[in-house]
């Protein structure tokens, strides 16, 4: 009986255990949910200055244009190469859908970018946990609040980085699940996410190589059937997308990343590839003096000091390789960092190389190869030293201090993205030797009612820094043409631009416009318009100007009508073109 009574007394105690466990589980869930919410709120707070920012630079080429806003426009996004600035159909489909919801209201585009970035930070936390590394939350917060990500988040055009980042990290996480379970459904889901990432930004093609490095780090060796074979389709998809994008970048009628600015020898490209990772690593570890456009380095294979960068990279790789016998982590991080940067190391031409070999958004994902190991290392250090001295709250306070410092730097940096003028004035203060920055600031000032004199000064400085640029000469001519008594100087600038590039259609067009304003130079203007159309017959405005000029010459009204009709074929809804055609037809066939 005594035994039975003892068991009877134990039953209530056993029944009371489940509610305790449920309460603990609920507290854990609420704590985790609160931390996820804090991550999103911290990201939003850090980017508050940019949320009401205007369209910048090429944003108008990414926010869906009027001719692409229909269902037929959506079809063109996918199947008409050249319909969008870059062939990233999923990205531009997202922009298309967003425009259907809120049109040109920039606030919502910024909110989407911040939400995508915060979602990527959450995925970073889950991936670090899946890899059983310490410091998952710290890594997520550092990534979310690091100022080196500002360009990829505060700039609407870089939704391609934010969107592709979510898909890239989701594919990585799903594949890590597949690696444990070997379920086909998880494999194909991961592959689908990877393909979607490629259709948002091709730099995500490095993911399969990153996964192999992770598996090598975990296991010390790679098995063909288990590790390599499943990723072969990924490598094929990534290589195909990368080669296609490289072709698009170089093709003149699409992006046109070729010419003197890209004329680098193999040695030059190796020197560049050796220097770029040092730059990016320094910006992750010490994010000071960040800027929208960095100075463009002069690559000189004859300068011995430039060989120190690739030699330093080789020395680091060798040191980490020797250390890998005891700890594979540093070498794995080095390989992931440089491998993720590979598309931007200089072996392939990309359009921004015209003005700089580096840009913060190029290392949006690569930075994780530094952030995650550093966060893990700091967490381990805090556990060994900090907790012993200051307790758990002390370690949390240090982590909060780091996150707050980074968040404050991000808040300050994102403020530069409020509007075009602010962005380029801030950039010019940090990079005064950039002709591009002076030119873009001048272009913006030209739009202000009283901005011509200041714009002229910016264009003159741009031409001084880069006197052989026909584009800068034409912009200087445009400013001069609007100043009293400076039309001859404007014509001289257009002519200088044409000597540098006889096939520059904009120089012919603007020279024609200038000549039209001089009595007796109409025929000369016609010749310039015709030269412009021989180079690019698809510009409706040139057909209009040619039609108007021909109409001023006796006996050439029929030619003017033809040009006007060509213009309306290219731009059917142009009201000035219709009015001109109506006037010309009435003149030719009076009642």
Task: List, for residues 233-279, the tens digit of each pLDDT value.
Answer: 999 999 999 999 999 888 877 787 888 888 899 999 999 999 999 99
pLDDT of residue 469: 92
- 250 compared with 154, residue with greater pLDDT: 154
pLDDT of residue 2: 40
pLDDT of residue 382: 79
The whole-chain average pLDDT of the chain stands at 91
Rounded CA-CA distance 306/333 in Å is: 24
- 384 compared with 368, residue with greater pLDDT: 368
For 31-51, what is each residue's pLDDT tens digit? 778 889 999 999 999 999 999
- 386 compared with 490, residue with greater pLDDT: 490
Sign of CA dihedral 297, 300, 304, 310: positive
Q: Spell 55-75 as b/e; 16+ CB within 10 A means b.
A: bbbebeebbbbeebeeeebbe
Q: Kindly state the percentage of the chain with pLDDT values over 90.
A: 78
Q: Residues near 38 by Cβ (< 8 Å), separated by ≥ 6?
A: none
Count of beta carbons in the 10 Å neighbourhood of residue 51: 19
Domains of the chain: 47-63+104-416 (no CATH), 448-456+467-588 (1.25.40.10)
pLDDT of residue 1: 36
Rounded CA-CA distance 427/441 in Å is: 10
Q: Residues near 162 by Cβ (< 8 Å), separated by ≥ 6?
A: 112, 113, 116, 117, 120, 152, 153
pLDDT class for 11, splitting at 50, 70, 90?
very low
- Indicate if the pLDDT at residue 15 is higher than 50: no
- Indicate if the pLDDT at residue 359 is higher than 50: yes
- Indicate if the pLDDT at residue 143 is higher than 60: yes
Rounded CA-CA distance 159/92 in Å is: 10
For 80-130, what is each residue's pLDDT tens digit? 998 998 899 999 999 999 999 999 999 999 999 999 999 999 999 999 999
For 161-197, what is each residue's pLDDT tens digit? 999 999 999 999 999 999 999 999 999 999 999 999 9
In the block, residue with structure tokens 């806003």: 69
Closest CA to 280 of 319, 336, 226: 336
pLDDT of residue 76: 95
Distances (CA, A) of 3 to 6, 8, 13: 5, 9, 16
The answer to whether 574 touches 542, Cβ cutoff 8 Å, is: no
pLDDT of residue 13: 44
- Indicate if the pLDDT at residue 6 is higher than 70: no
What end-to-end distance do the CA atoms of the chain give, in Å? 125
Rounded CA-CA distance 379/361 in Å is: 27
Rounded CA-CA distance 264/275 in Å is: 15
Rounded CA-CA distance 466/555 in Å is: 44
pLDDT of residue 14: 44
Count of beta carbons in the 10 Å neighbourhood of residue 115: 16
pLDDT class for 383, splitting at 50, 70, 90?
confident
The answer to whether 465 touches 442, Cβ cutoff 8 Å, is: no
Rounded CA-CA distance 241/228 in Å is: 20
Range 420-435 average pLDDT: 94
Q: Residues near 120 by Cβ (< 8 Å), separated by ≥ 6?
A: 143, 162, 165, 166, 169
- Indicate if the pLDDT at residue 320 is higher than 50: yes
Closest CA to 584 of 570, 566, 571: 566
Collapsing DSSP to helix, strand or coil, 556 comes out as coil
Distances (CA, A) of 395 to 95, 384, 388, 403: 42, 10, 10, 12
pLDDT class for 4, splitting at 50, 70, 90?
very low
pLDDT of residue 392: 62
- Indicate if the pLDDT at residue 404 is higher than 50: yes
- The torsion angles phi and psi of 252, rounded to 5 degrees, stand at -60, -40
pLDDT of residue 10: 41
3-class SS letters over 147-160: HHHHHHHHCHHHHH
Report residue 435 CA to chain centroid gap.
Answer: 21
pLDDT of residue 581: 86
Helix ranges (DSSP H) in 357-419: 368-381, 387-414
pLDDT of residue 24: 67
Lowest-confidence region among 287-296, 313-322, 571-580: 571-580
pLDDT of residue 591: 59
- Indicate if the pLDDT at residue 371 is higher than 90: yes
- Indicate if the pLDDT at residue 21 is higher than 70: no
Distances (CA, A) of 515 to 178, 192, 250, 299, 528: 68, 57, 35, 41, 9
Contacts 24+ apart (CB under 8 A), 484-493: 487/514, 487/517, 487/518, 490/514, 491/515
pTM for the model stands at 0.88
């Amino acid at each position: 009986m005594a035994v039975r009574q003892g068991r009877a007394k134990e039953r209530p105690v056993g029944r009371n255990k489940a509610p305790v466990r449920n309460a603990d589980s609920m507290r854990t869930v609420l704590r985790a949910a609160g931390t996820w919410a804090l991550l999103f709120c911290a990201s939003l707070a850090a980017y508050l200055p940019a949320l009401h920012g205007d369209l910048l630079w090429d944003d108008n080429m990414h926010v869906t244009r009027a001719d692409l806003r229909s269902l037929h426009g959506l079809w063109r996004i996918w199947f008409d190469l050249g319909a969008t600035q870059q062939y990233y159909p999923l990205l531009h489909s997202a922009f298309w859908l967003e425009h259907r919801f809120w049109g040109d209201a920039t606030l919502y585009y910024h909110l989407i970018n911040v939400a995508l970035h915060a979602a990527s930070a959450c995925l970073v936390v889950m991936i670090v946990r899946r890899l059983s590394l310490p410091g998952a939350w710290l890594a997520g917060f550092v990534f979310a609040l690091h100022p080196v990500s500002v360009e990829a988040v505060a700039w609407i055009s870089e939704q391609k980085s934010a969107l592709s980042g979510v898909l890239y990290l989701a594919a990585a996480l799903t594949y890590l699940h597949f690696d444990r379970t070997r379920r086909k459904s998880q494999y194909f889901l991961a592959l689908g996410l990877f393909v979607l990432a490629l259709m948002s930004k091709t730099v995500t093609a490095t993911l399969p190589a990153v996964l192999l490095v992770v598996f090598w780090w975990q296991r010390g060796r790679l098995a063909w059937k288990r590790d390599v074979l499943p990723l072969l389709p990924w490598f094929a998809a990534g290589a195909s997308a990368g080669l296609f994008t490289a072709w698009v970048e170089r093709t003149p009628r699409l992006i046109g990343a070729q010419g003197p600015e890209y004329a680098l020898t193999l040695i030059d490209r190796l020197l560049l590839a050796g220097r770029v990772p040092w730059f990016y690593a320094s910006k992750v570890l010490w994010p000071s003096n960040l800027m929208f456009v960095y100075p463009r380095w002069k690559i000189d294979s004859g300068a011995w000091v430039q060989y120190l960068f690739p030699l330093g990279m080789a020395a680091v790789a060798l040191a980490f390789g020797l250390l890998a016998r005891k700890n594979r982590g540093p070498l794995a991080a080095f390989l992931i960092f440089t491998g993720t940067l590979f598309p931007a190391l200089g072996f392939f031409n990309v359009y921004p190389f015209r003005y700089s070999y580096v840009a913060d958004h190029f290392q949006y994902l690569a930075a994780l190869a530094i952030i995650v190991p550093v966060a893990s290392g700091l967490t381990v250090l805090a556990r060994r030293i900090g907790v012993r001295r200051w307790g758990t709250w002390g370690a949390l306070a240090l982590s909060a201090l780091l996150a707050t410092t980074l968040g404050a730097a991000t808040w300050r940096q994102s403020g530069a993205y409020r509007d075009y003028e602010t962005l380029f004035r801030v950039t010019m203060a940090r990079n005064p030797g950039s002709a591009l920055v002076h030119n873009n600031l001048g272009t913006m000032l030209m739009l202000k009612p009283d901005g011509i004199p200041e714009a002229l000064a910016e264009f003159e400085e741009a031409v001084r820094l880069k006197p052989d640029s026909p584009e800068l000469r034409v912009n200087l001519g445009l400013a001069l043409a609007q100043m009293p008594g400076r039309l001859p100087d404007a014509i001289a600038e257009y002519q200088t631009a044409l000597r540098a590039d006889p096939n520059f259609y904009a120089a012919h067009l603007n020279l024609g416009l200038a000549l039209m304003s001089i009595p007796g130079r109409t025929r000369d203007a016609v010749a310039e318009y015709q030269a412009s159309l021989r180079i690019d017959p698809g510009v409706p405005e040139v057909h209009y100007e040619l039609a108007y000029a021909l109409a001023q010459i006796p006996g050439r009204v029929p030619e003017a009508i033809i040009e006007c009709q060509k213009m309306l074929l290219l731009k059917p809804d142009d009201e000035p073109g219709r009015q001109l055609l109506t006037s010309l037809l009435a003149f030719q066939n009076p009642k």
